[in-house]
A and B are shown apart, each in its own frame.
Chain A
Amino acid sequence: MRFESPTTTKEAAALLTGELGDAYILAGGTDLLVRMKLGLIEPALVVDIKKIPATQEINVSDKGISIGASVSGATMSEHAKLNKSWPGVVEAANLIGSDQIQSRCTIAGNLCNASPAADSVPALIAAGAKAVIVGEQRRRTVPVEKIITGPGTTSLQKGELIESILLPKQAARSADAYLRFIPRTEMDIAVVGVGINLTLARGVIQSARVVLGAVAPTPILVAKAAKAIVGTKLDAQALENLAAACSDACDPIDDKRGTIEYRTRVAGVLARRAAVIAFKRAGGA
């Protein structure tokens, strides 16, 4: 195995393009090294992107907040402006693993690992985040929901890597929230995850994005769930409709982490709870 640590994104893309064998990007390594340890992969090349300055920064601009691809969960949790604007995204990122994992794990890695149960992805999709993708030839910006195509697969082409994740500027009277269910209090993979981002106008929900994780081959943006709460003050009926829409949208599997029945049911429960949190955060009453 070859180990490279380039200092520009372009250089990284060139290394990935040039490698004939299996090439992997290393940012936090919290998924990559597990797969190597379990013998699931044998990389010919690992490209460490942490020495690339563009991947290391959190930048706040008029357009929003850009989070570099090697920014760790712990760094995100320490960023005041990010926490204020996108608490749901930060709480989702911070749910990934222990403090040890937090020092290393990244949301770009969480996205590229393409697990249906990735914690940060539903929150990113709910927030309307985009991924800045760099290849040897071109640079493109793609909505996060377009990246994951199935369990473990992405729409990234050979030689492409994510340089940063771009969160839009959060609108006024808006907030997001993320909740997941795990059997223990820590250290588990989500059995169900729900990310919600909503905007209020005069106390009424004007727009919303509701995203479910771990209940389908990819995280799913549930338009019907958003519709269930738009135009409401999140009254009991709206919450019930939201829960029903979320449960309806589920297409989960039975596995060691949960049953179809359970996931379907709990998706609705968590959606209700997450909506209440986001609603309160946005100033709703």
Chain B
Amino acid sequence: MSGFLVSTKINGDAFQFACPSEETLLDSLRNRVGLTGVKEGCGTGDCGACSITLDGSLVCSCLVLAAEADGREIGTVEGLSDGMKLHPLQEKFIEHAALQCGICTPGFLISAKALLEKNPKPSEKEIRYALAGNLCRCTGYDKIVRAVQAAAKEMRKK
């Protein structure tokens, strides 16, 4: 086993950690950085619970080596709200009861944010396909799609 020193910016703050070269970014974020809002549902890129942004693009952190994150910027669910102010997606997820168990919620929020940044006025179909990489087993996606629609509307007002 050989180690690797990773210097990153996480949710805007500089952060350094050392890890074995084969460690995934998901494991590092959870076990070394302490950001357990990033969830592991499968470890193979099929459920999206570990979604984060890496230099602004949406990825599954289980499919990224921590070593790859060296010199790059990471965004996680822990960085979504601005102090006391929740992100509109966070607000709408609560308001629309778009979560039941909530384990998939961090991943959905990150994916939905990535979608709305690219496409502020997505159709229902566009929302459904953009979120297809995030599995939810509780809600049947109904209230999640509605929450994203409501957040999009809210964000367009600004």
Whether the Cβ atoms of A99 and B45 lie closer than 8 Å is: no
Which residues of chain A have C-beta atoms less than 8 A from B44's C-beta? 34, 37-38
The answer for the CA separation of A1 and B20 in the assembled complex, in Å, is: 8
B27-58: which residues lie under 8 A (CB-CB) from chain A? 43-46, 48, 51, 54, 57-58
The answer for the CA separation of A277 and B132 in the assembled complex, in Å, is: 25
> When A34-B45, A43-B22 are in contact, do A104 and B64 touch as well, CB less than 8 Å?
yes
Whether the Cβ atoms of B68 and A50 lie closer than 8 Å is: yes
B42 smallest CB distance to A (angstroms): 9
Which residues of chain B have C-beta atoms less than 8 A from A33's C-beta? 24, 45, 62-65
The interface size of chain B toward A, counting residues with CB under 8 Å, comes to: 32
| B152 within 8 A of partner (CB) | no
Which residues of chain A have C-beta atoms less than 8 A from B62's C-beta? 33, 37
A90 smallest CB distance to B (angstroms): 16
Interface string of A63-78 (1 = CB under 8 A from B): 0000000001010000
| B98 within 8 A of partner (CB) | no
The answer for the CA separation of A46 and B66 in the assembled complex, in Å, is: 13
A111-143: which residues lie under 8 A (CB-CB) from chain B? none
Which residues of chain A have C-beta atoms less than 8 A from B59's C-beta? 100, 103-104
Checking A26, A101, A186 against B45 with a beta-carbon cut-off of 8 angstroms, the contacting residue is A101
B89 smallest CB distance to A (angstroms): 16
Interface string of A173-197 (1 = CB under 8 A from B): 0000000000001110000000000
| B1 within 8 A of partner (CB) | yes
> When A29-B63, A34-B63 are in contact, do A97 and B68 touch as well, CB less than 8 Å?
no
| A262 within 8 A of partner (CB) | no
Which residues of chain A have C-beta atoms less than 8 A from B48's C-beta? 98, 100
The answer for the CA separation of A203 and B54 in the assembled complex, in Å, is: 47
| A202 within 8 A of partner (CB) | no
Return the chain B residue nearest A104 by Cβ. B59
- Besides A1-B20, A48-B65, 14 more A-B contacts (Cβ < 8 Å) are A2-B2, A28-B63, A29-B64, A30-B45, A36-B22, A48-B68, A50-B68, A74-B57, A99-B114, A101-B133, A103-B54, A103-B57, A104-B63, A187-B132
Interface residues of chain B, those whose CB is within 8 Å of chain A, are 1-2, 4, 20-22, 24, 43-46, 48, 51, 54, 57-60, 62-65, 67-68, 111, 114-115, 129-130, 132-134
